[in-house]
Structures are given as C-alpha cells and as structure tokens.
Structure 1
Amino acid sequence: MKLSIPMMLAMLVQTVYNLADGIWVAGLGPQALAAIGLFFPVFMIIISLAAGIGVGASSIVSQKIGERDKTGADTAASVSMLLSVIIGLMGVAVFLPVISSILGFAGARGETLRLALEYSVVLIYSIPLIMFNNVANGVLRGEGDAKRTMIAIMVGSFLNIALDPVFIYVFGWGIKGAAYATVLSIAVSSFLISYWLLFKKDTYVSFRLRWDGEILKKILKIGIPASLAQITMSVAIYVLNVFVVKAGGDYGVAVFTSAWRVVNFGTVPLIGMATAVTSVTGAAFGERNGEKLETAHLYAVKLGFFVGLMVTTTILIFAPFIAKAFTYSQEGERLYGELVKALRILSLFLPSVPFGMFTSSMFQGVGQGLKSLIVTIMRTVIMQVLFSWLLVFVLNIGLTGAWWGIVLGNATSALITFTWGRFTVNQLKREFQVS
C-alpha cells in the first residue's frame, strides 16, 4: 500500500489529464476526436517500448536491493537510462516515415487524416524524451521511491491540463496545440527526475556512466516481453479501431475513443497497484521469500477486484452525465446515446482486470517476462479481438458487439492467467524451501 497509493494518485492525475485532453479536443469536433483516437494505439506502442524497459529496470533494481547488492542496483539504473535514449532515437527514425501509411490503413481519410498527422508528428519527435521519462520513473519505483515518481507525474499532468486550452484555443494551434502541451509537460517531468537522479543525488541508486552486458541481458529479458505485452495491447486497440470504423465510421471511433478514456480512468488505481506488485514481488523473489511473494500477489488481487467493482458501479450510474462532457459540441450530440451505451458495457471490463494484470506484474517481478507476454497476447490479440470479431462480423451485432467482445475476452483470459499465476507461485515456494 505504501508503494501503491502514491502511484494511484499519480496515475489518477495523469488519467484526468487524458480525459481533459479528450474533452478539450472534442470542442474541435468529432473528426479531431477521431484523429487522436486513431493515433492513440501508435502512441501507446511508443509508450509501451519505454514502459517495458522501465519495468525491466524496476524489476532488476528491486531484485538487487533484495539481494543487498547496491552496485548491481546502480548498474541496472545506469544501463536502463542509457538504453532508453538509444531506443528513443531509433524510434523517431522508424515511426516518422511510416506514420501516414499506418493512420491511413487504420481508416483515417481526408480531414481526419490531416488532423491525425498534425497531432502525431509532434509526438513522434518527442520519443527520446518519452523513453527517458518512463524508464527513469521505473528506476525510482524499483528502489521504492514512489513519492517522487508521483510528484513528477502529477506536475507534468497538471501542467498539461493547464496548457491544453491555452495552446488549442487561445493560441489557435488546434489539435497540434494538444500535442505541444503533452510534450512540454513530459519535458518538465523529465527535468525533475533528472535533477533528483543526476544532480541532487539523494536517491538510493546512483547514476554512473557504466555498461554491463549481463545486467543489460537481464533488463531486456524482462523489458522486451513487457514492451511486447503492452504493444500487443496497442495493436489490439488498433485492430479494434478498424472494426469500429467498419461498424460505425468516424463517429464510431469517436465513441470508442471517449468511452475507452473513461474506462482507462477506472484502471488508474489498478495500474498504480500493479507497479507496486512488480517491485514487492521482485524484492521477495530476490530474498527468496515465498510467503511474501504469495501475500503480495493475493492481497493485490483481492483489493483490486473490489476497487474495480466500485468503479464499474460508479460508471454505470453516472454514464449519462459523463457522456455529456464529450458531446457538448453541435456535431458531438449525435454521439450521446451510443456513448452512454458504450460506457455502461465497457465498464463491466474492470472487475476482472486485477486477476490478469496483477498476475502479469508478478511474473515480471520474479523475472518471468515471457509468461507476462504470453498472457497479455492471450487477453488482447486472441481473446478480445476474437470475441469482438465474432460479435461484430459473424453475428452482425455492430458497435455493441465490439464493446461486449472486449469485456468477454478480458474475463476469459483473466481466469486462465490467474490460475497459471497461482501455480507459478506455489512452484517457486517449493523451490525456495528446497534451497
């Protein structure tokens, strides 16, 4: 709870920013909202690369702390941050030439494509900054410093919320203004983290220009599957966007973009807890303490289930009021009825999330990143996409089928993942007792 609560607050503010971003852009019309929705999966791929290396760094740092290896923790932090800059520069070179084709394949046409490109190009140039920010946050989480991670995220998010209306409407930059606000907020957050790690130097880990091939392998062994796991979620959203375009056009994407942002708001406390699960299970694994490992996993899942249930109930009750925030423009009024329906169905996704998400975090904490990747692919690419495809195209249910496909696919995979996680924990407990 000590690690979870600051991360919950940080993620809460960050998600409020995401909602505010969508609400301000909604004032530009459904095409602008659809534009950021079509780029969202691509942006999440970028974030996934950064977050994956951050997870790898967090896991190895926490394991080294559990082993009482200060030098190893320092090396893990240094290698991961150097790696983030290298991957960031590579990301710009990869995404910039192909972004127009990616957006076009997803269904962006005419004015929607133009707006999506305006928004996306600004963010693509900021990939090195995004990479560094996420990985440095992972290092702080790994050493248990959730408070400063919270401060960095909250400062950036509040700044973004304040700058959005200024850049979009006061300066008249439109959708490009939303992108500039995001980049500037990330830059300020990164400056804070850099100050603590590189200049003030009062953190547990110390950053030094050192390279260790074995540490790099360990980080990548966890980080690459973690990145791929999150990328598959982005690919799944990309595919679901294609389904939604087929079923409901630009208006369908606008509904999905708005509803999904609200549902993601409900995952905020769960994501905060998931980052803590990785750190605590990583330390327990390094200490070879099976009881602590099991307690962290099960306590988080139980608490997460009740949190998800409460958020679902809230969205079910207040869906009509929430939908108003995204449909206040004259054109946006057409989305209202479908958006209320989407919010109520998609909110049912939340109670089952902890069973899969926290088990995946536990796999990352104990260094079994491949299992985390497998269960994520099963949930997103196999289950959610498969169920949505069946309901949208085979049973011809339309947009509603896409929403139910996400809910049913997640619930099915969560049950399988949690069962596998319990088996893994019991197996590790037996190994610790033997040794």
Structure 2
Amino acid sequence: MKDLTQGSIPKLLINMAVPMMIGMLIQTLYFLVDLYFVGQLGDTALAGLSLAGNAMFLIFALTQILNVGTTALISHAVGRKDEADANAVFNQSMLLACLMALVVVVIGYFGAPSYLASISSDAATIAAGRDYLYWFLPGMALQFPLVAVSAGLRGTGIVKPTMLVQTLSIIVNIILSPILIAGWGTSVAMGVAGAGLASSISVFAAVLLLCVYFVKAEKYISLKPNLWRFDTQIIKRLLGIGLPAGGEFFLMFAYMALIYWLIQHFGPDAQAGFGLGSRIMQSLFLPAMAIAFAAPAVAGQNFGAKRFDRVRETFFWSALLTCSLMAVLTLVSFLIPSVLVGGFSGDPEVVLIAATFLQIICINFIPSGVVFTCSGLFQSLGNTLPGLYSTATRVLIFTVVAVWLSHQPDFTLTQVWYLSAISVCIQAVVSFLLLKREFKLRLPRGYVDDPVAVKLEVSQ
C-alpha cells in the first residue's frame, strides 16, 4: 500500500502515471501491430475487425463498473486507514467479476450475429467480425478478474505490477499476431480469427501472472474465501459508484454503433476507414489517459482522508498535464494524418477516409482531456452520475443532429466527423461545470484535518 495523502501532487501523479503510460504505449504498439496485419487482409477484414472491436466498448462499460467502484471505495478506505473495509470491497468486487465474466461469454456467443447484422449490410464484413468475436470472447470474459485485481491495487496506490504484467501480455500478443493472423512459421493463417485468438491468449497470460504476483506479494488486500458471500451493502456501494461510470461506456458503445449504422450506406471502405481512424485515435489517447487514470487514486485517498485542498490540486495538475499531452497530439494529427494511418491499409480510399477523420476529429483532443480529467475526479469523489450526465448530453446532441443530417440529400461523412468533434467540446464544458458544482458541495473550504496544519493555524 502507498500513502498518497502526503507529498507533491504532481510528483505522485507522474509516478503513478509513468508506469501506466509505459503499459499504454506498449498497448498502442499492440493495436498498431494488430491493425497492420489485419489491414493486409483487405478492407473487408479491417471493417469486420472494427465492427467487432466496437463490442469492446460494451465490455469496457461492464468492467468500468468494477474498475471505478473498486478503485474509489478502496482508495477511500485506505485514506481512512480502514484495512478491513478495503478487503471486504475487494473480495466482493472479485465475486462480481467472476459472475459478469460468465454472463458475457453466454450472451456473446448467442448475440454476436444479431449485433453485427444490425450495424452492417455487407455479408463478408459480418462474417469477418463474427470470426474475430468468437475467438476473442474468452479474452473479453477474462478482462473482468483482471480489472478487479488491477483496480484493487490502484486503489492502494500500487500500479507498477499491473504495468509489468500488461507489458508481458502485450508482448505475447505482438508475437502471436503475425503467427496466427498471417501464418508466419506455421503456414496456417487464421486471418481475423487469429487476431481474436492472439488477444485471448495474451489476456489469459496477464490474468495468470497478475494472480501469481497478487497471491505472493500483496498484503494490504487479499483474496479471502470467507468474504465471498454476497454483501448487499458493499455491492450497493460498488454499483452506486460504478454503474453510472459503466453507463458512460455503454453510451459510447451505442454512439459508435450509431456511427457505423449511419455510414454503412457509404460502403465497407467508409466503415473500414472510420474503424482505422478511430483505432489510431484511441491509441494516441492512451498516454494522456494514463494521467487521468492516476487521478482517481490520488484524489480518492485524499478525499477519504478529508484533505480537500489536495483533491482540488489533483484536478489542476491532472488537467494541466493531460491537456498538454493532448495539445501535442492535436498538432500531430492535424499536420500528418496520412502518415499516422498510411501503413495500415493498401486501399487509398480507406486511407483517405481515415486521414480525413483524424484531421477533423483532432479538434476535440484537448476537450477530451478535460472530459477524462473531470471523469477521474467524479470517481474520486464517489459520485459518477455527473460524468454520465455529460456523456448523455454529448450522445443526445450527436444522435438528434446526425439522424437529421442522414436524411438530407447532401449528407456526407465529414459532417459526421465535425458533429462528433463539436459534441465532445460541448461535453467538456458540461463536465467542467458539473465538477465545479461537486467541488462546492463536497469539498468545504477551510476544512483542516491534518493535526500539524491545525497547530500551525492555531499558532497564527
């Protein structure tokens, strides 16, 4: 366990973010390797991977329930120095993780064909997406225990073991991708299905390694079989914080599905180009998101310890660092979008669509940094409903206007990209205003809980 209620806030954020950033950069490399080999199979395979990959937003929505709820409650318990509550929360989180993994496998195998058919009219694209999903579903299910353990560790201020495990698993994935997708060394090319299998094997390796570390090394929280009975009070606390955060990702899943549905009439090239551009964008976001992901643990422990000025300071430094990184990414995406996407498809039309998407959508990179930071602070305060409200505002505005535009005779892809960027800018404003309100309600100014500070205040 690491005490985050003492020391320099920017130093704590950077110390936590750097290991996560390294892991995310390696994960970015994995995304690029995966995209490269699938892209060589043609635009239909790339479109199928993109459609199936959108299902990960649904998995993110479910894992986010565990991730946010577990990190917030454990960080609060650590701030209060309440080890018993931290262990109770962790074990209930693991119980929920196992149940959710089982549900995902059952629903995934039965529901995948219907989902894919609802957002694409191209039979070859649907078939490619189905092949990928069927092989990746075991990996999706294993995300739940992986996230529960990672969130528990992050709540106690520990992030390096998770980074090392993720790094090793991604290296496994990078090695397996050309072997399974293209048949390197085996002459048995599985195509898109190989990408799904490689991902599942790498997630299994990550779960195995993290469990070995956790059992041998972690002491503050641990697996306790006697706590694996449903505790309705703790589960209510977990879901109270986690469900709205999961709802945000569910809305993003619906938002992405809506875009695929809107652009399907432009053909597989449009869906492949959007899929490629959005995957590159997500990869670019990962390092900046590491800062935002570090904020909930730092601010959460300080909120639990009633160090409210440090919570405010965490927001300032998190926003500054995240938005600075996003500013650099904005310039890169605007100036050289073709360079970022050019090596992942041999189809000039797909590359053009992806590059145009990046050049337009980078308008929202800095606002996205604000959204990420605000979301992290909502989590640390134990109230994630404002984050859900801001995401719902964005999705509602985009949906109403996009559906209207799609019925106009001059409807174009670029209209969708501009509308998406503008809706994120609006979301950033809404998120910031809601966070100011939360700070006013939950962080009373002038409150001092530090005994040393109290003595200084009295002496003055």
TM-score (norm. length: structure 2): 0.89
Tell me: CA distance 1:383–1:284, structure 2 relative to 1, closer, same or farther (3 Å). farther
Distance in structure 2 (CA, Å) of the matches to 1:152 and 1:434: 39
Aligned to 1:222: 241
The alpha-carbon deviation at position 131 of structure 1 amounts to 1.2
Preserved contact between residue 23 and residue 326 of structure 1 (Cα < 8 Å): yes
In structure 2, distance between residues paired with 1:228 and 1:203: 32
Instruction: Determine if the alignment matches structure 1 residue 235 to structure 2 residue 254.
Output: yes
Task: Establish whether residue 208 from structure 1 lines up as the match of residue 227 from structure 2.
Answer: no
Write the deviation string for residues 315-345 of structure 1: whole angstroms up to 9, x where unpaired: 22221222321223xxx23323222212211
**Amino acid across the alignment from 2:223:** F
> 1:3 matched to which residue of 2?
16
For 1:280-311, what per-residue CA distance to the aligned partner results, in whole angstroms no more than 9, with x for missing partners?
Answer: 12112111121011111121112211111101
- Rounded to whole Å, the distance in 2 between the matches of 1:313 and 1:428 is 37
1-structure distance, mates of 2:428, 2:411: 24
Partner of 1:406: 420
Alignment of 1:184 with 2:201, yes or no, is yes
Aligned counterpart for 1:45 among listed residues 46, 53, 58: 58
Larger radius of gyration: 2
Amino acid at match of 1:279: A
Per-residue CA deviation, residues 255-274 of structure 1 (Å, 9 max, x unaligned), is: 10111111112211232122
State the identity %.
23
Partner of 2:3: none
Q: Distance in 2 between the 1:88 and 1:393 partners?
A: 40
Q: Establish whether residue 341 from structure 1 lines up as the match of residue 360 from structure 2.
A: no
The one-letter code sitting in structure 1 at the alignment partner of 2:275 is T
CA deviation after TM superposition for structure 1 residue 204, in Å:
2.8
Classify 1:411/1:290 alpha carbon distance in 2 versus 1 (closer, same or farther; 3 Å). Answer: same
Question: Post-superposition shift, 1:385?
Answer: 3.2
1:146 and 2:159 equivalent?
yes
In structure 2, C-alpha distance between the alignment counterparts of 1:108 and 1:205, rounded to whole Å:
49
Match of 2:393 in 1: 378
* Pair 243,140 (structure 1): closer, same or farther in 2 beyond 3 Å: same
Contact 2:386–2:434 under 8 Å retained in 1:
no
Alignment of 1:11-30 (within 5 A): 11-30=24-43
Which residue does 1:155 correspond to in 2?
168
Q: Distance in 2 between matches of 1:390 and 1:16?
A: 38
For residues 302-341 of structure 1, the aligned pairs below 5 Å read 302-328=320-346, 332-341=347-356
Distance 1:201 1:262 in 2: 36
Q: Residues of 2 paired with 1:243 and 1:225: CA distance?
A: 26
Aligned counterpart for 2:290 among listed residues 272, 277, 297? 272
| Aligned-residue CA RMSD (Å) | 1.9
In 2: Cα distance, 1:228 partner to 1:143 partner: 25
1:350 aligns with 2:365: yes
Report what 1:78 is aligned to: 91
Q: Distance in 2 between matches of 1:360 and 1:323?
A: 29
Q: d(CA) in 2 for partners of 1:110 and 1:391?
A: 26
Query: Displacement of 1:391 after TM fit?
Result: 4.7
Residue correspondences, number: 429
Q: Once the two structures are superposed, what CA deviation does each residue of 1:358-384 show, in whole Å capped at 9, x if it has no partner?
A: 1111111111022222222223x2233
Match for 1:219: what amino acid? L
Normalised to the residue count of structure 1, the TM-score between the two structures is: 0.94
Tell me how far 1:192 sits from its aligned partner. Answer: 1.2
CA distance in 2, matches of 1:396, 1:289: 55
Describe the SS at the equivalent of 2:41.
Answer: coil
Q: Which ranges of structure 2 fall in alignment gaps of 5 or more residues?
A: 1-13, 450-460
What CA distance in whole angstroms lies between the structure 2 residues aligned with 1:396 and 1:70? 61
Contact 2:386 2:431 in 1 (8 A): no
Counterparts of 1:4 and 1:86 in 2: how far apart (Å)? Answer: 30
AA aligned opposite 1:411: C
- Going from structure 1 to structure 2, the CA distance change for 1:281 and 1:384 (only over 3 Å counts) comes to farther
Evaluate the alpha carbon distance shift between residue 108 and residue 55 of structure 1 in structure 2; reply closer, same or farther with a 3 A threshold: farther
Structure 2 counterpart of 1:287, from 305, 311, 322: 305
Choose the corresponding residue for 1:109, options 88, 102, 122. 122
Does structure 2 conserve the Cα–Cα contact (< 8 Å) formed by 1:359 and 1:417? yes
